[in-house]
Amino acid sequence: METDISLHQRRRPLTTAELDTIAWLPLLSASERQRAIDDLKIADASPGEFVCRAGRPVTYWFGVVAGLLKMSSENAEGQTMTFTGVPPGGWFGEGTALKREAYRYNIQALRRSRVAGLHADTFHWLLDHSIGFNRFVMDQLNERLGQFIAAREIDRLTNPDIRVARSLAAFFNPVLYPGVGELLRITQQELAYLVGLSRQRVNEALAVLAAEGFIHVEYGGLRVLNLPALRAAVFVRKSVG
């Protein structure tokens, strides 16, 4: 089986098309870009496979080229808490890489995903030499802070429709997830995992949001029609009938 070989052992250089999906590469000088390209590696993660585990030392700064990952942790009782999902275009773990500390969370593929990695040493070299890269990482950290503040608010929401709306809006962040665009490729079951609701309740919430004109449910994904309304959702209909 493919997963008998570790993700690290399956790594390979990126193709030109895969390199074109990385938003921060154009911010580098020619020499900086070449050093990054020489170091970047990519591998396919199978559904359920871990990209990184809590307690392991940091080795790479990761980005999603295709697929969908989830960030979670487990408490002493074995209960899992999901923090967020990472769709295409998203890079994560910059805080851990900056501090060179062990991961405090698990990153796991929800579906077959293509994950790129920049070695932590090259990550620090770019921080030491590239203004453009520094600005990108600073913007990432700023957006990530806002994302997790919003996630705490979402955790306190009792209205499932608003909870789904706010969770969906987080995926359409052009700074953190430039690869999403207007169409998020996600199944209702995957969204249920990330939001912490049942698939049936997520389905009901999506129907409500579609009736409000916030989204359009398409085969294999969700298209946002009114992102400001989705982000500011404070009231939605109690029924769609």
**What is the structure's pLDDT at 235?**
53
**What is the structure's pLDDT at 155?**
67
**What is the structure's pLDDT at 240?**
45
Claim to verify: residue 96 and residue 28 sit in the same structural domain: yes
**What is the structure's pLDDT at 70?**
92
Residue 199: inside a domain: yes
Which residue stretches of the chain have pLDDT < 50? Answer: 1-3, 239-241
Give the Cα separation of 71 and 202 in Å (integer): 19
**What is the structure's pLDDT at 2?**
43
Q: CB–CB of 20/37 below 8 Å?
A: no
Claim to verify: residue 60 and residue 126 sit in the same structural domain: yes
**What is the structure's pLDDT at 49?**
95
Residue 129's contacts (CB-CB under 8 Å, 6 or more residues apart) are: 32
Claim to verify: residue 58 and residue 137 sit in the same structural domain: yes
Residue 131: inside a domain: yes
Task: Output the CA–CA distances (angstroms, integers) from residue 5 to 12, 214, 228, in the order listed.
Answer: 13, 43, 44
Residue 27: inside a domain: yes
CATH number at residue 99: 2.60.120.10
